[in-house]
Chain A
Amino acid sequence: MTNPVTLPDPVTLPDPMTLWHPVATMLDLPHRHIFHGQLLGREVAIWRADDEFINVWENRCLHRGVRLSIGTNDGTELTCRYHGWRYSNRSAGCTYIPAHPADAPARTICNRTFAAVEQYGLVWSGEDPIGEPPTVASLDDGTPFTLRNLPVNAPSQIVLDQLRQHRFQPVASLDTDDAEMTATEINDYALSLTSTGTNTAESSTVVFFVQPVDSDRSVIRAVLTEAPAEVAQLAVLRHHAAALGKLVIAAEAAAAQMPLPEPMQATINQVSLALSVMPEPMLDRQAPLRVQVARKWTTARDIAGFELVSVGDPLPTFQPGAHIDVHLPNGLVRQYSLTNGPGDTSRYRIGVKLEANSTGGSQCLHDTVREGDVLAISEPRNNFPLRRDSLRTVLIAGGIGVTPMLAMAQALKPMGLAFELHYFAQADEHLAFEEIRAGLGDAVITHVGLSPDETGAELARLLDGYGHANQVYICGPGPMLEAARTIATAADWPDQAVHFEYFKNTTEIDDSSSFEIALARSAVNLQVPAGKSILEVLRDHGIAMPSSCEQGACGTCVVPVMEGEIEHQDVHLKQSERDAGDKIMTCVSRAVSDRLVLDI
């Protein structure tokens, strides 16, 4: 049965690029599947994340063009089969490039996304759709039931033409062949057909949406407006599959009489100029170690624990109080204290607090980094050394500041040195690393839910009565740290006995001055202009400088000063060290005098 075919004049059709089209049924998107779809000549990878968000992406990895639909959907990210690049749910931003754990470029690699809306059991998308997907009153008011979709090797308008003559039976009388058909046009890619039984007067309505896959291919997506009773569903599905099967044969026969249309050409966007050039290796900050995330777990509310095992040589030893730089897949570098006890170099353990206003560091570790990933880290550095010759050691931790304290406490305990670890937290669920604390027994005292005033009073009580060879170590949020330092000074603790580590430097750094630095050992004079740090100037001249936080908190970039007056802008040095004027944090501090002579 071939019908004479007249193609509508394509000029009269609205631009299909601006319309919403169905690209999949919800049944095509089972848990953690990736559906390979196509619309208007463009291939798309369609996948549903565990948060139910439906992603419609260009079906192509930006790296080497491999179809993402042959990759894996792990519920939050899509991984390319070829090189393991991972792309995030929703944003389609690339989050991990396994070939370069150390110098992952700090640049945004983002796949192309298309709009996606679920309606009537179908996923709707489009190249550049305007407004909303079409609404159909009979589906809005009914209980839509998706029929099996049918691919057709025919242009969508030939399929529509065939559908106008399509026949099926109402659900109540599938076995007869005498129903009255009425058609209602919805738009250029959709129509509604109602079948009314002559005897029973019962009717069924099916809405047909035709997806233009390419110039010569379509998919018929049909939705019955009223879901049949469950026992009848199989028979209904069979009835429509058989009827539409005949329609497909007729449409393909009609299409075969037409000249083959030119295939649609989907344009693939060029990558940005910045992405098209090979990135330079990041040599400034050293990250010689490669570790794999062996375990990631929630150790307290908003705090993730990470166990890192070496991928190559055994991990180097470390001292209590030490931290590592973690180079993140998004190009950021963050410092985390080791919580390990002495001698435990089989793995490094760190705790990462999810910062409410994270600039991408803690968020990346919480959301993106997962078990099995490879990270580049620095060797452990200790800018917070623990004295092990004291009669009494007071460890004061606020929140995530507990991490270096846990390492210190585990070092002191087997030595039999008297210590107490005071752990301040907002609530019980914020207390982290219970398994380590359990091993420290009564030496750990938690202080939960105190107001700032109550915290101050508690600190005053703890620091009352300085004695010979007493040491206090403090790590926590800035205000608590300031309060503890003030209280310790008031309680006659000498500056040398008060040790602290800031999370970050909140000082506003003034880099407007310009001055000269003389490098005494290498007999070189360099100019530090406004807007550049001493550290940057040294590196610009090929001097390898260690650094870590680069904000004046960690103390890694310290350099001895022989002459000149220093403008200290760090939070690492103690007041007595500042007063001595013989060292400088080169990442933030500058000169008051015209010239500094550095002992390097």
Chain B
Amino acid sequence: MRTALTTTVATTCTDPIILNQWHPLLPLDEMATDHPGTAVLLGERLSYQLDANGAPAVWLTADVDATPLPVLVEYLYVWTCLGSPPDELFAIPEFSEPDRRNVHGGTIGVHVSAPRAIENFLDMGHFPYVHTDVLGVEPHTEVAEYDVHIDPETNDVWATDCIFYQPRASTTSTEGQMSDYLYRVPHPYCVILYKTTPLFEDRMDVIALFCRPVDDDQIQAHMFLSLLDPDNSDTVIRKFQQGIFGQDKPILENQYPKLLPLDPRAETPIRADKIAIAYRRWLSDLGVTYGVIPVSPTSVSMTS
């Protein structure tokens, strides 16, 4: 099967925007001191191991000198970078609140580009069809008007005032509810969702998707949760999240093309896609070229 081989050839990343980002390699507690592990990031095979002090080290597997790559431990994960990373990762202040449950919900490999996965995470319209009886149910299919803006200080993309009817919004739900959502995109391949919890009126659950780009059209998606859920075990929370993501995976793997097209004329937006449109423009404005099909000069002239 020679055709199958061609799809596994890694596409080396030359996009400086993506090369200079922190990327989530794996959860810290999956690293060991006694033996190295390997993982692929942006087409490069990396090795990793905890040193004698318990600090993570990451290096290019092919590098005989094992020169350490930049490493950051944040939000339960080990982050690394193949270029020059920024000083800090985006902030999730809720992570430090004492009554939060910070849970690694699982890592799922998906044969799709990171931006396609991010866009799916930003989408409410699919809830009744893909997450039937959990995050949505017919006939509650309408996506109400919501607001989108870009934070002038952090340059994060935000969607606010999102409302959707959900039969079983989380592990703490006992009945259907109108869920309030906030979406935030602080990183080309990471997205955070703030969501109504039945237990508090003024605080929200935090659910994030941190994508490790294995290749331009393959990811390992880490699900991070910072929840206000004192009762359910980590296993129950993980099962709920993995059940949801398991419903998304076959949809994502059936999207064509696998890279996210940034040309406005590649696909047909509707009003529900306001945040997706903003995300695509934001990627274009950042100059991201990896994991996307950039707008070609000819199509720019057609749309301007």
A residues sitting closer than 8 Å to B (CB atoms) are 43, 59-60, 62-67, 70, 81-84, 97-103, 105, 109, 153, 216-217, 256, 260, 268, 270-273, 275-279, 281, 290, 292, 311, 372-374
Contact = CB atoms under 8 A, between A and B. Distances in A.
Residue among B141, B255, B256, B265 facing the most chain A CB atoms (10 A cut-off) = B141
Contacts of B142: 98-102, 290, 311, 374
B270 A99 contact: yes
14 contacts: A62-B268, A63-B268, A66-B254, A83-B129, A99-B141, A99-B270, A268-B257, A271-B265, A273-B265, A276-B265, A278-B274, A279-B271, A372-B138, A372-B139
A62 B2 CA distance: 31
A474 B129 CA distance: 46
Contact of B271 (A67, A100, A311): A100
A101 B265 contact: no
Nearest to B2: A260
Given A67-B254, A99-B143, A100-B270, A277 B264 contact: yes
Contacts of B129: 81-84, 98
B151 interface: no
A281 B271 contact: yes
B189 to A, nearest CB: 18
B14 interface: no
A3 to B, nearest CB: 19
B260 to A, nearest CB: 9
6 closest A-B pairs (Cβ-Cβ)?
A98-B141, A270-B265, A292-B139, A99-B125, A99-B272, A276-B264
Interface centre among B128, B254, B264, B299 (most CB of A within 10 A): B254
Chain A CB within 10 Å, residue with most, of B119, B145, B264, B303: B264
B287 to A, nearest CB: 21
B139 A153 contact: no
A82 B128 CA distance: 9
Nearest to A309: B139
B76 interface: no
Interface residues of B, number: 40
A101 B128 CA distance: 14
Contacts of A100: 142-143, 270-272
Contacts of A59: 256
A153 B270 contact: no
B191 to A, nearest CB: 16
Contacts of A66: 251, 254-256
A270 B263 contact: yes
B185 to A, nearest CB: 17
Contacts of A216: 2-3
A500 B4 CA distance: 72
Interface of B: 1-3, 6, 119, 125-126, 128-130, 138-143, 145, 250-251, 254-257, 261, 263-274, 277, 299, 302-303
A276 B269 contact: yes
A271 B268 contact: yes
B144 to A, nearest CB: 10
B251 A82 contact: yes
Contacts of B6: 260
Given A67-B256, A278-B271, A372-B139, A98 B128 contact: yes
Contacts of B126: 82-83
Nearest to B1: A153
Contacts of B302: 270, 273
A81 B251 contact: yes
A330 B264 CA distance: 23
A82 B112 CA distance: 15
A216 B255 CA distance: 22
Contacts of A260: 2, 6
Contacts of A102: 142
Contacts of B128: 84, 98
A308 to B, nearest CB: 11
A276 B268 contact: yes
Contact of B270 (A82, A97, A271, A374): A97
Contacts of A281: 145, 271
A153 B3 contact: yes
Nearest to A374: B139
Contacts of A290: 139, 142
A374 B165 CA distance: 14
A105 B270 contact: yes
Given A63-B269, A81-B129, A277-B264, 16 more contacts: A65-B261, A65-B266, A82-B126, A84-B141, A98-B142, A99-B125, A100-B143, A216-B3, A260-B2, A268-B257, A270-B263, A270-B299, A271-B268, A276-B303, A281-B271, A372-B138
B130 A81 contact: yes
Contacts of B2: 153, 216, 256, 260
B184 to A, nearest CB: 21
Nearest to A83: B125
Contacts of A103: 271
A65 B255 contact: yes
A153 B5 CA distance: 13
Contacts of B272: 99-100
A100 B299 CA distance: 28
Contacts of B250: 70
Contacts of B251: 66, 70, 81-82
B256 A65 contact: yes
A103 B144 CA distance: 11
B126 to A, nearest CB: 5
A62 B119 CA distance: 16
B2 to A, nearest CB: 6
